[in-house]
Structure 1
Amino acid sequence: MQPAPLQPGAMQPAPLQPGAMQPGDQKPTTGGRRPRLTERRAAQPGDLICGQCGEANPPSRKFCARCGSALVEAEVVAEKWWRRFLPKRKPPEAGTRPNRHRAGSARRGIGKALRWSFLVALLGAVGVYGLVPSFRSLVNGQATSIVKDVKGLFVVELTPVRPTGITANAESPDHPPLMAADNAKNTFWLAPVEPQQPALTLDFGREVDLREAIIRVGNPDDLQAAHRPKKLHLVYSTGKTFDLDIADTPDEQRVKIENSAGATNVEVHVVELHRSLRGNEVALAEIEFFAVR
């Protein structure tokens, strides 16, 4: 079939340029996979490491940004140990301008400078302490004094209190009351138990705060030769009292004492006895008091 002749005045088709694409030559594009990522993300503390491709993913992701694998069992990047001691920086809140945080940044900078200054000063002091004997002696002396002062706040230091005078309401020949406070182990105060309860009076000549006492009862050579105190009733010059329960043993007994603050003397009454089958007197070998220094 011959092409229809062109009408007079009709537009002529433009001639094709050499190398121009002919109609129908363009091929439709076929769908394909997206190109794989080439740059790897630097791992940060808390990131999730994909077990398939090793990509570091932000903690908020559920699937790997590189291969698409699930991150349920992904390894978490641990924070370096030394970073735990550094202050955490909070990201600026949404809608705020960075220049509003300049004051906070300045404060953090000052704090960091102070920490470094303290560290340098501390290292310098340690160096001087190790190299300069006179400085080391000064520091040791000050430290000992401070430790002693602090210890005094919690630990009560006691000292023996010697009576300036000692009397009794009863005594047996050759065993006066002074023998109960002479610090000798082979002497003792001996007193009849009737018609009144035996009692010692120890005068200290000043106000004391008694806290402890060392007591030895009986005749040191023969425990059963006389009665032994079982309970002592202490009466202080302040009017307060305190009772002591004493074991029946020739060994030294250290007992606690209370209620004596401000007393200048104490009466020691023997109110109960460990009884002997052979004697009718009570023997007290030693009584020594300790007060707050």
Structure 2
Amino acid sequence: MIVCPSCGSRNEDDEQFCGECGNYLDWDEVQVVEEPAAVAAPAPAASSVAGTAPAPAPAPLAEPAPADPGPRVERAPDAGPSTREVPSPRTTARHQTATDGLPPAPSTASVPAASDDASDPAVAAAAAPDTEQDVAERAAAAERDAEARAAAERAAADQAAAERATAERRAAEREAADRAAAEKAAAQKAARDEEAARQAAADAAAAQQAAEARAAADKAAAEKAAAEREAEIKAAEEKAAQERAARTAAAAALVAPPPPARPAAPVAAQQPAAVRPGTPQAPRKPRPAPKADDAPPAPGDLVCGHCGAGNAPTRKFCRRCGTSLADAPVAQRRSWWSRLWRPDPKAARAAGYRPPRRRRFPTRPVVAIVVIGAIVAAVLAFRPEIDRARISLLDRFQGNTAVNPTQIAASSELPERPAAQIRDGATNLAWSPAVPGDGVGQFVDMAFAQPFRLTRVLVIPGASDVEKDFLEGSSPRVLTLTATTSAGTQQTVDLPLADRVGLQSVATSIDDVVAVRLTISSTYRATPETHVAIAEVEFRGRS
């Protein structure tokens, strides 16, 4: 039997796991075995010779002591088969291997008195040395123990391999299940996406159909509205024509009432005779044309749209042809300047009229001479302003050409901010005087290859066009521009600048410039530690 070290329950020798707690039973643990009770030794024979002491028995040989014999169970003296705990075969074999070939060690147990044990045959037999049979039995037990240990190790290895196979199978099953779940989720997602795409396509098609239907409905409504408007216009025109016809008939009835109707004699029905093609027909009588008025319509008259005759504003029908004057336009009076250049035609003189002789004043020539003289006087009087306007127009349309200097020099400069950076095209590089402070009086000279007309100066004040770098230093408030002309004269212009980042433009008008000096007159945010800076200067003009 094998005792479980965890719960203490007993298990069979061929069991590897405890039946109570499931713990693995190591072969090194103690085994519980049953052994028969000791046979009582025979009583010692009486000494044959009275008075002679029995010979002392040889000292018993002690068995080799195991390394870890484990707990021992006391045996009752009067019990039948008693139980005792012995070391497991593995422990016994290990100790036997270690003690083979060594002389038996003397027993450490207490030896009973010679008078009591000298004549005991059982004690003498136990103290006898091991025989070959005992050695063979121990070797067989060791071999069995080795085989059992090998079998246990193989069983443990098989069990571990089975557990690993089970774990791998379970891992493979979990991986397969996860892969199947992922594939199923991907398939479901693809199906949802396809369904969403199909739904979106259906929605787009429905929206397009709805838009087409709405467009068709709008077009039909527009066509219907246009047809209704046309019908209304046509009905209005017909109604207006009927009203004009009715008014015309009423006016004709008022002017010349028709004669009373005579009873008509019965006339035999006549059929038109056949006319041969090519036979000349009698010409129809032409309709008489209306007579022309002696005078054109006066201003304020109603002009007949049929014959063009003028009518008094109080008339409803034309005095010549009887056409309704409901829509007749009113004759307008011509303007004075129109009558001046094209006078109205005069009324015809009566026969035999002789106008009096008189000299006419030459109005047209005089007026023309006066107008031309006024224009010439105005030109002469405002000639300077006209010249300035002409030059301004030329400067605006032609004076925007960049002019670059050929030489640049400064009164002083910082090593990291030389004067050449004032015209290098980079807005993050600037010129600064060598002395910190407001920089008043510091200047930059620039010379040009050819004379030109300076129309505009572009300046980027400060150390850079980036606001952070601009605010870290100071910038000029007023720059004094001194221009030297080709004749040797100088002109001075102040260029006021704002305290802001970016390009600033100042207009100038200086002819024949060959050199320019920019002098700092005042500064924004000047401190004893900061340097005033100018990032870029550009000159615009025309030759």
Q: TM-score, normalised by structure 1?
A: 0.52
Query: Are 1:49 and 2:286 counterparts?
Result: no
Kindly indicate whether the alpha-carbon contact (under 8 Å) linking 2:479 and 2:518 is maintained by their aligned counterparts in 1. Answer: yes
1:226 aligns with 473
1:286 aligns with 536
* Residue of structure 2 aligned with 1:199, choices 430, 437, 443: 443
Q: Give distance in 2, aligned partners of 1:241 and 1:228.
A: 21
> Can you give the 5+ residue segments of structure 1 that lack an aligned partner in the other structure?
1-35, 57-73, 97-150
Q: Give distance in 2, aligned partners of 1:193 and 1:250.
A: 21
Q: Give distance in 1, aligned partners of 2:472 and 2:329.
A: 85
Kindly indicate whether the alpha-carbon contact (under 8 Å) linking 1:225 and 1:279 is maintained by their aligned counterparts in 2. Answer: no
1:214 aligns with 458
| Aligned residue type for 2:500 | T
Which consecutive segments of 4 or more residues in structure 1 shift more than 2 A? Answer: 39-48, 74-79, 86-96, 151-156, 192-196, 276-280
Query: Are 1:252 and 2:503 counterparts?
Result: yes
* Residue of structure 1 aligned with 2:516, choices 266, 270, 274: 266
Larger Rg: 2
- How many residues align? The count is 183
How much does 1:54 deviate? Answer: 2.6
Give matches, 1:52-63, under 5 Å. 54-55=318-319
2:380 aligns with none
Kindly indicate whether the alpha-carbon contact (under 8 Å) linking 1:41 and 1:55 is maintained by their aligned counterparts in 2. Answer: no
2:408 aligns with 166
- CA-to-partner distance for each residue in 1:147-200, whole Å, 9 max, x for gaps? xxxx96584412001001111001111211110111111210011356862101
Q: Give distance in 2, aligned partners of 1:156 and 1:213.
A: 16
How much does 1:224 deviate? Answer: 2.7
Give matches, 1:3-22, under 5 Å. none
Q: Give distance in 2, aligned partners of 1:153 and 1:217.
A: 28
Kindly indicate whether the alpha-carbon contact (under 8 Å) linking 1:161 and 1:291 is maintained by their aligned counterparts in 2. Answer: yes
1:144 aligns with none
Q: Give distance in 2, aligned partners of 1:155 and 1:224.
A: 34
| Aligned residue type for 2:451 | E
- CA-to-partner distance for each residue in 1:17-63, whole Å, 9 max, x for gaps? xxxxxxxxxxxxxxxxxxx9xx866483435414155326xxxxxxx
1:111 aligns with none
Structure showing the higher strand proportion among its residues: 1
Give matches, 1:60-99, under 5 Å. 76-77=330-331, 87=342, 90-91=345-346, 95=354
Q: TM-score, normalised by structure 2?
A: 0.30
For the residue of structure 1 that corresponds to 2:532, the secondary structure is: strand
For the residue of structure 2 that corresponds to 1:223, the secondary structure is: helix
2:430 aligns with 188
1:175 aligns with 417
For the residue of structure 2 that corresponds to 1:257, the secondary structure is: strand
> Can you give the 5+ residue segments of structure 2 that lack an aligned partner in the other structure?
1-255, 257-289, 302-309, 321-327, 356-391
Bigger relative contact order, structure 1 or 2 (CA pairs below 8 A, ≥6 apart): 1
For the residue of structure 1 that corresponds to 2:422, the secondary structure is: helix
Kindly indicate whether the alpha-carbon contact (under 8 Å) linking 2:395 and 2:455 is maintained by their aligned counterparts in 1. Answer: no
Q: Give distance in 2, aligned partners of 1:174 and 1:251.
A: 22
| Aligned residue type for 1:225 | E
Change beyond 3 A, Cα 1:49–1:168: same
Change beyond 3 A, Cα 1:52–1:255: closer
Kindly indicate whether the alpha-carbon contact (under 8 Å) linking 2:473 and 2:533 is maintained by their aligned counterparts in 1. Answer: yes
Kindly indicate whether the alpha-carbon contact (under 8 Å) linking 1:205 and 1:265 is maintained by their aligned counterparts in 2. Answer: no
* Residue of structure 2 aligned with 1:157, choices 398, 402, 413: 398
Of 213-222 and 86-95, the range deviating more from structure 2: 86-95
1:240 aligns with 491
Kindly indicate whether the alpha-carbon contact (under 8 Å) linking 2:395 and 2:541 is maintained by their aligned counterparts in 1. Answer: no
- CA-to-partner distance for each residue in 1:236-265, whole Å, 9 max, x for gaps? 11211000111111211122123x212210
| RMSD of aligned residue pairs (Cα, Å) | 3.8
Change beyond 3 A, Cα 1:235–1:55: same
Change beyond 3 A, Cα 1:224–1:210: same
Equivalent pairs: percent with the same residue? 23
Q: Give distance in 1, aligned partners of 2:447 and 2:528.
A: 33
For the residue of structure 2 that corresponds to 1:178, the secondary structure is: helix
Q: Give distance in 2, aligned partners of 1:197 and 1:154.
A: 31
- CA-to-partner distance for each residue in 1:52-102, whole Å, 9 max, x for gaps? 55326xxxxxxxxxxxxxxxxx974469xxxx8x95564488636xxxxxx
Structure showing the higher helix proportion among its residues: 2
Change beyond 3 A, Cα 1:154–1:262: closer
Kindly indicate whether the alpha-carbon contact (under 8 Å) linking 2:441 and 2:521 is maintained by their aligned counterparts in 1. Answer: yes
| Aligned residue type for 1:95 | R
Kindly indicate whether the alpha-carbon contact (under 8 Å) linking 2:436 and 2:531 is maintained by their aligned counterparts in 1. Answer: yes
Q: Give distance in 1, aligned partners of 2:395 and 2:405.
A: 28
Q: Give distance in 2, aligned partners of 1:290 and 1:75.
A: 63
Change beyond 3 A, Cα 1:214–1:168: same
| Aligned residue type for 2:471 | Q
Q: Give distance in 2, aligned partners of 1:282 and 1:78.
A: 75
1:7 aligns with none
1:59 aligns with none
For the residue of structure 2 that corresponds to 1:287, the secondary structure is: strand
For the residue of structure 2 that corresponds to 1:286, the secondary structure is: strand
Q: Give distance in 2, aligned partners of 1:202 and 1:292.
A: 17
Give matches, 1:77-156, under 5 Å. 77=331, 87=342, 90-91=345-346, 95=354, 155-156=396-397
- CA-to-partner distance for each residue in 1:86-124, whole Å, 9 max, x for gaps? 95564488636xxxxxxxxxxxxxxxxxxxxxxxxxxxx
| Aligned residue type for 2:458 | I
